[in-house]
Structures are given as structure tokens and as C-alpha cells.
Amino acid sequence: MILDQVLQTHFSIATLGTTIVNLLLIMFVAQCGVKKLLYRRFFLYAGAICLWSFFLLLHSVTDSYSLAYLFCRVLHVFAMFIPVFFIHFLYELLNVSNGSKKYVLSINYALAAVFALCSIFYPQILYPALKARPFSPNYLTPSALYTVWMVVFFLQVIVGHIVLAKQMIVAKGVRKTQLKFFFFANMIGYCGGIGDFLPVYDQYYFPFPYGNYGVILFSIVTAYTILKYNFLSTEKLVKNAFVFAGLLGFVFGTFSLASVLFQYFIRHVLNVGEIWSNAISILLIVFGYDPIRSFLINLTDRYLFQKPYDYHQVLKDASRGMAKIES
């Protein structure tokens, strides 16, 4: 089957974008620490989405049937826990502590675990085979049990939205507005995720192949909502974002520059091999990491997080100092 380049490009870009956005969120949360329960819930939630999208990308682009089948099994293990982590995260985010919480979580974790074990040890009962699609050389073919899991997946998503909607209805003021924003952003994200299920049944309607752009939006708004609720330190998070982005750019930029220069120029002039060119790149990163890190931290401290002076307090302190001198 001839691949449709437009479908393949959009599907790959959207899936890669989902991976990158959630990887950044994971790095930010890790920088803030995962000791608080809310952080851990978010870490698991974003981590599952990140790993699902990463292996989905690998599954959809690889030409090897055996590798594509392996990636299919792995990506679904993470996909099976995404809505469960979503529900658990919402319970923590919204401080829900009713009697049904324990049963809802227990049932949903049990269902996810059963399907995940099937994906690991008995994948053929979920995905009997792979076949070529217009956007992928190898994409899964579903069984009846796979359809059952898909129904369970969306029922879990609905449960999560019901939990969120109940809190949204009783909320007041700014919190109500924030919960509305969060609710509809989640709706966009999960509706976009439908685009990943449609090709399984040879259906190529909207939101495929653009659905994962909605998942990107969902992930960004999830982080934004946490920031608005002040569950994470905004200043620390943004500072870490700049430091991480700068270091990430430095690391990849160094590797890219070194790779290009040594491969196409220096290798031909000095006969420098690939191993040595990579070794030099690593040395550059090792010696450049700390200076770049210090520079970025000082830059963000100086221009982004300057604390405004309280001139009334300054005058009071000055007058006290002058009084002590006079006495």
C-alpha cells in the first residue's frame, strides 16, 4: 500500500508533539519534586500520555512487523492506565473524599491491570495482526476484546468528566471558571484521541489525523490549570522551564553542530572517526553544562523574577537606621 504523505506527516507531527509536551511537563514536575501526592498523580498521568504517544509514533512509522507489534503491545499498556490516572489525578486535584472514591479507583485499576496483562502476555487476543494503512506500514487490527477495552476506556473517561463536572457545578467564582476551562480542554483532548482509534477500524474521518493536536492542547491546559491553582510553584516552574529549554537547546545544538562539522568537514580533513566526533561532543556538553546553567539561572532571576521594592518599608528601615545613629 502506498503511504499518504499528508496523513502520515500530520499524524507523526501531532504524536511527536504530544510526546515532547508531556516530556517537558514531566521534567518540570520532577524539578519541583514528587513528594506531594498531587505531583505524583500528575507525574504518572503525564508520564503515561508521554510514553503512549512515543510508542504510538514508533508503532506507526516502523517498517518491521515484529517491532511494530512489540510497540503496539507496549503503547497499549500505557494507554490502558491513562484514564485511570486521569480519574485519580482529578480526585486529588479536587479534594474528593466521598465513600465511592475507593471503589471507583479499585475497579478502574483492576480493569486496567487485566487488559494490560493481556497486552503483555496474550497480545493476540487483543491485536490478532497488523496491516498496512494509508499513513502507516503496520497498524493494528482489532479483536472483539479490543473493542470491549475501547468501550471501557471511554467509560472511564466519562467517569472522570462526571467527577470534574460535579465539582464544577458547585464551585463559585474564579474556581468555577477555571474548572469550566479545564473541563472543556479535557473534552477537546479526549475527543482528539478518538482519531487514534478510527484507523484501527479502517475509518479515516475527522479528527484523524489531526486528533493528537487536541491532545497537545489538553496537556498544556492541564499544566496551566495546576499553575492557576497554585499547587505548583509558578516561579520555580517557569524558571526551570527556561533553564531546561536552554540546556536542552544547548545539548541538542552541540550534538547537531558537532555532528555536522565533524562528519562533513573535519572527518575528511583530519580523518576523525564517528566515535571521536561523538566523544568531543560529549566533552563540550560536560564542560559547557554548568556555565550555561548558571547563566540561565542568573538571567531568569534578573529579568523574570525581580521582586518589586516596597519603598514605604525602605523608608521605614532607613528612618530606624538614622534614629539609631542619632542616639
Please tell me what DSSP assigns to residue 133. Answer: E
Could you list the beta-strand ranges (E) of the chain: 129-133, 136-141
pTM score, whole prediction: 0.69
Query: How large is the average pLDDT for residues 267-279?
Result: 60
> Which is more confidently placed, 121 or 248?
121
Mapped onto helix, strand or coil, the DSSP state of residue 313 is helix
Tell the residue number behind the cell numbers 467527577, with chain if given. 163
Sequence-separated (6 or more) residues with CB below 8 Å from residue 292: 246, 247, 250
What is the per-residue pLDDT for 35? 57
What is the per-residue pLDDT for 142? 95
Domain at 5-232: CATH code: 1.20.1070
Backbone angles phi, psi at 132, to 5 degrees: -70, 140
Query: How large is the average pLDDT for residues 38-56?
Result: 87
Does the bond joining 207 to the residue before it have cis omega, within 30 degrees of 0?
yes
What is the per-residue pLDDT for 233? 45
Query: How large is the average pLDDT for residues 115-126?
Result: 94
Between CA 68 and CA 59 the distance in angstroms is 5
199-227, pLDDT tens digit by residue?
A: 999 898 888 888 888 888 887 776 776 66
Contact 62, 75 (CB under 8 A): no
Q: What percent of the chain has pLDDT over 90?
A: 27
60-101, pLDDT tens digit by residue?
A: 888 899 999 999 999 999 999 999 999 998 888 788 877 788
One-letter amino acid for residue 181 of the chain: F
Backbone angles phi, psi at 139, to 5 degrees: -135, 145
One-letter amino acid for residue 196 of the chain: D
149-187, pLDDT tens digit by residue?
A: 999 999 999 999 998 999 899 988 877 877 887 888 889
Report domain extents, the chain: 5-232, 239-326
DSSP line for 60-122? HH---HHHHHHHHHHHHHHHHHHHHHHHHHHHHHTT---THHHHHHHHHHHHHHHHHHHHHH-
Between CA 141 and CA 219 the distance in angstroms is 28
What is the per-residue pLDDT for 304? 47
